[in-house]
Chain A
Amino acid sequence: MADIFTRMGNLDRRIIFILIALAVIIPILTDLIIPNIVGAEPSRDLFEFVDALPPGSNVILSFDYDPSTMPELQPMAEAVVRHLFLKDHRIIGMALWPQGAALGQDAMSSLSDSLGKEQYLDWVNLGYKTGGGVMIVRLGTSMRAIFPTDRDNVPWSEIPMLQGINSLDDIQLVISLSAGDPGIIAWVMMAGDRYDIPIGGGCTAVSAPQLYTYLQTEQMVGLLGGLKGAADYETLVGIENGEAIRGMSPQSVAHIAIMLFIIIGNIAYFTQKRKGGAR
């Protein structure tokens, strides 16, 4: 028995790769759905804050990510956009990351038609602008100076929903979907702390621990952490079998598989240690 564990401790990593692949593929192919329960998570706080905003609020949705983190953040973007549209808020999309603008456009335009929303009346994509935190500070004094046109070169003055919006003072909420820097932290420091704008956010699971500090100090109104955060938001919005909810099953099985590997690795370690071979 001890030999089995010792041999398992030296498992070829290609076998681990195959088993992880199977742990992901099988739940997808079998349409395994594990019901997602939303507890007292920061995702609920963000949902409730958006829900409580008066209809017609101006919300900046900043797409601060790129395709590499799309599997976690794009379902979030779609769920948040859907919620904002359902509550009749106006979405001002922008991006601190170059490739985020196209992903944001995809999220907003794909839902706009089905929910009866119109570009330039209910939503606009201002596109990418370089500068990160410095750009956000400048938005605090003049948004038009930073974005004289939208992503498709339509002048600010010709976009009906932007008339009456001058600076961050006219924004009721900023939601940054962020994969790193610049992202949520820049929005918290420059827009939240300096101009007192409520900040919500979504991030990859790996960067969520860092952002919990801003939740406790109420510098953020809520946070969607990783695919679970996206699944929570989909559940709260009422999206049935959303992309993130479906993603929870393979992720559950993969987490269990990784934990089993760790347990096996530890049994092998202690077996070898007992024999005096472990380092």
Chain B
Amino acid sequence: MRLIIPLAITFTSGMIMILNFFIPHQPFALLGENLQEWYMIVASGAIFLGSANLLHVHFRKTRLKLKNWKYSPVTIVGFLVMIVLGLIYGVTENLPFDYLFMNMVAPMGATMFSLLAFFVASAAFRAFRASNWRATLLLTSAFLVMLGQVPIGAMIWDKIPLAKVWLMAIPNTAGQRAVMIGAAMGVVATSLRMIFGIERSYLGGAD
């Protein structure tokens, strides 16, 4: 039963959603809408699960004084402060929760992402070599896109932005489309395998 019930739920839900897509009339329309709402409720529940897991991990790390444990109390305090302020004041603009979000969370988040520029520069310096004709082609394309992506490219030569648009729209699109079609076919195949109970790894067991 532990296996049959989840498989039956997956099969029924999957078939309802497929039928809802191809036959958007009753009773499939209503069933589909209900399932969509259930999905959103379950996904909301996952947020609570994630929050509980975050606290569990960091309390444990602090208690056992694991590597870099000193950052964990900061995470816990920050998390609890935002939760308490959110519950008391809500998320309305200019109230404490929003104030802390806009003036602490937002700048810190932006700073973390901006660090990427330094690592990209360092990695490009060490690894981007014109070692063969394919790498040279990639390097040339990268230069054209980098120059076309900033106004200085047009100042150097007004055809550079056009070259960038061409590279993005033609060779890039051809490659991206191939990857996307392949991935989409994989998604369809995996979904069907799950709906029909062939693929069961999502249940957590090997069989």
Contact = CB atoms under 8 A, between A and B. Distances in A.
Whether both chains belong to one complex is answered with: yes
A134 B39 CA distance: 8
B129 A135 contact: no
B83 interface: no
Given A130-B44, A151-B91, A252 B36 contact: no
Interface string B99-120: 0011001111110111001101
Given A134-B39, A145-B37, A151-B91, A39 B177 contact: no
A101 B150 CA distance: 29
Contacts of B155: 34
B126 to A, nearest CB: 7
B109 A67 contact: yes
A25 to B, nearest CB: 12
A13 interface: yes
Interface stretch (A50-58, A84-92, A158-166, A264-272): A264-272
B162 interface: yes
A212 B117 contact: no
B51 to A, nearest CB: 11
B168 to A, nearest CB: 5
A265 B106 contact: no
Interface string A27-56: 000000011110111000000000000000
A220 interface: no
Interface of chain B: mostly helix, strand, loop or mixed: helix
B154 A39 contact: yes
B125 interface: yes
A70 B110 contact: yes
Interface string A255-275: 111110110111001000000
Contacts of B39: 131, 134
Interface string B148-189: 011110110000011001001100110011001000000000
A26 interface: no
A241 interface: no
Interface string A232-265: 0000000000000000100111111111011011
B147 A255 contact: yes
Contact of B33 (A69, A138, A258): A138
B207 interface: no
Given A39-B154, A137-B36, A151-B91, A258 B120 contact: yes
A258 B176 contact: no
B124 A258 contact: yes
B173 A212 contact: yes
Contacts of B152: 34, 252-253, 255-256
A34 B151 contact: yes
B201 interface: no
A134 B93 contact: no
Q: How large, as a class, is the contact surface on chain B?
A: 35 or more
Q: How large, as a class, is the contact surface on chain A?
A: 35 or more
A114 interface: no
A93 B196 CA distance: 39
B23 to A, nearest CB: 14
Contacts of A20: 117-118, 121
A102 B98 contact: yes
A215 B29 CA distance: 31
Contact of B102 (A71, A102, A141, A212): A102
7 contacts: A16-B125, A39-B154, A103-B106, A138-B40, A151-B91, A212-B169, A252-B150
Interface of A: 11, 13, 16-17, 20-21, 24, 34-37, 39-41, 66-71, 99, 101-103, 105-106, 109, 127, 129-131, 134-135, 137-138, 141-142, 145-146, 151-153, 205, 208-210, 212-213, 215-216, 225-226, 228, 231, 248, 251-259, 261-262, 264-266, 269
Given A16-B122, A24-B117, A35-B151, 8 more contacts: A37-B151, A37-B154, A39-B154, A67-B110, A130-B43, A152-B91, A213-B180, A261-B125
